């Protein structure tokens, strides 16, 4: 009887053990399947999209826009191959890269900054182009209008809150009389912003003195020529100046010349302060637009240009630069 009872108990334990193992395997499989499904929900169409990227030059704002764009693709869960290209602020390289991306047969091209978008738009009217970090699509010849682009180009604008930035100049320097405006004459987006700056300064009673460079090689000498001739310098979102901002800051700060700038990256590179949009979020907006084009068949021709909300712009200041210049910016937040 003892032997029989032991055998019965052993059998019960084996069955219980097998049942428990079966339950564990089923739960593990279900959890794994759920995770896989969650990660690939948007990619279930089985298509891998080819995306080309043409970035004009490396600097903090454009880099952030690029990162935001890619983050939007990842968050959407689409499958894609991306070809990242940087023209290093060389317009000839822009043209060569644009032709390469078009010849590669990409499903969509991201163009970061106005000259990059102009280069790509000049090569194809068929492949959808999403631009970002572009001041005015219509004024730059990229769209029929910003409300109804009408072609194969759409995207997100980095139109800087120039009037608010000129107001910031007056808060930092209440007695300012002359403001030097530093920009690159080769960039169409800067021409647009220059006109806006002149208008804002006229309304504020500030005299504008232009300091234009044709390339980054001229930045140091041009900034040196401004020393002693203006009360401060201002540079909006000009790509050449942004890429060379460390040179601007080196000369200006050594000569006690405040530089108010167009965006956060320029502050981090030595500028005094700004009232800035978020370029990562701007790129993210462009990425969301790209996803709609790729997965929903949205037509760039009917997709209005999108803007970063001005009420979300934030004050950014460089305390080290402020201390060097002896300017208190603590109450400007």
185 and 320 together in one domain:
yes
Q: Which residues make Cβ contacts (< 8 Å) with residue 297, sequence separation at least 6?
A: none
Residue carrying structure tokens 């890619």: 70
pLDDT of 188: 85
Measure the N-to-C terminal CA separation of the chain; round to a whole number of Å: 87
123 and 202 together in one domain:
no
Q: Which residues make Cβ contacts (< 8 Å) with residue 201, sequence separation at least 6?
A: 166, 179, 207, 208
What six digits make up the tokens of 107?
A: 């499903």
| Chain segment 202-260, per-residue pLDDT in tens | 999 999 999 999 999 999 999 999 999 999 999 999 999 999 999 999 999 999 999 99
97 and 111 together in one domain:
yes
Asked if residue 280 has pLDDT above 90, the reply is yes
Question: Is residue 33 in a domain?
Answer: no
Question: Is residue 35 in a domain?
Answer: no
Q: How confident is the model at residue 332 (pLDDT cuts 50, 70, 90)?
A: confident
Expressed as residue numbers, the domain containing 105 is: 47-158+278-302
Asked if residue 29 has pLDDT above 70, the reply is no
What six digits make up the tokens of 100?
A: 């390469």
Question: Is residue 16 in a domain?
Answer: no
For residue 42, count other CB atoms closer than 10 A to its CB.
Answer: 14
Residue carrying structure tokens 């896989």: 36
- Smallest Cα–Cα separation from 93: which of 67, 70, 69, 120? 120
Percent of the chain, pLDDT > 90? 83
Calculate the dihedral angle through the C-alpha atoms of 79, 83, 84, 85, rounding to the nearest 10 degrees: -160
Asked if residue 13 has pLDDT above 50, the reply is no
pTM score of the predicted model: 0.82
What six digits make up the tokens of 332?
A: 């400007």
* Helix axis angle, 162-172 to 188-204, nearest 10°: 50
145 and 224 together in one domain:
no
Question: Is residue 23 in a domain?
Answer: no
| Chain segment 134-167, per-residue pLDDT in tens | 999 999 999 999 999 999 999 999 999 999 999 9
52 and 175 together in one domain:
no
172 and 98 together in one domain:
no
Question: Is residue 190 in a domain?
Answer: yes
Compute the mean pLDDT over every residue in the chain, rounded to the nearest whole number: 89
235 and 99 together in one domain:
no
Residue carrying structure tokens 């969650």: 38
| Chain segment 37-66, per-residue pLDDT in tens | 333 344 446 899 999 999 999 999 999 999
Domains: count for the chain: 2
75 and 128 together in one domain:
yes
């Amino acid at each position: 009887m003892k032997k029989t009872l032991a055998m019965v108990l052993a059998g019960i334990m084996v069955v219980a053990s097998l049942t428990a193992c079966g339950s564990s395997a089923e739960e593990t499989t279900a959890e794994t399947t759920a995770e896989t499904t969650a990660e690939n929900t948007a990619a279930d169409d089985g298509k891998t999209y080819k995306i080309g990227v043409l970035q004009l030059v490396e600097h903090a704002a454009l880099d952030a826009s690029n990162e935001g764009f890619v983050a939007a693709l990842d968050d959407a869960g689409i499958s894609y191959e991306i070809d990242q290209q940087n023209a290093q602020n060389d317009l000839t390289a822009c043209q060569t890269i644009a032709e390469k991306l078009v010849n590669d047969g990409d499903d969509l091209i991201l163009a970061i900054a106005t000259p990059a978008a102009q280069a790509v738009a000049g090569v194809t009217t068929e492949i959808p182009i999403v631009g970002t970090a572009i001041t005015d699509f219509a004024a730059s010849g990229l769209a029929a209008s910003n409300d109804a682009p009408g072609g194969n180009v759409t995207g997100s604008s980095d139109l800087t809150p120039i009037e608010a930035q000129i107001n910031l100049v007056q808060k930092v320097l209440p007695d300012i009389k002359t403001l030097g405006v530093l920009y690159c004459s080769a960039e169409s987006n800067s021409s647009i912003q220059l006109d806006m700056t002149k208008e804002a300064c006229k309304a504020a009673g500030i005299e504008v003195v232009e300091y234009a460079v044709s390339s980054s090689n001229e930045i140091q000498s041009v900034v040196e020529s401004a020393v002693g001739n203006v009360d401060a310098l201002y540079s909006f979102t000009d790509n050449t100046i942004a890429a060379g901002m460390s040179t601007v800051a080196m000369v200006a700060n050594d000569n006690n010349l405040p530089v108010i700038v167009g965006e956060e990256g320029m502050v981090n590179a030595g500028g005094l302060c700004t009232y800035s949009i978020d370029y990562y979020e701007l790129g993210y907006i462009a990425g969301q637009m790209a996803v709609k084009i790729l997965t929903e068949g949205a037509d760039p021709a009917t997709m209005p240009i999108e803007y970063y909300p001005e009420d979300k712009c934030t004050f950014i200041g460089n305390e080290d630069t402020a201390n060097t210049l002896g300017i208190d910016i603590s109450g400007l937040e």
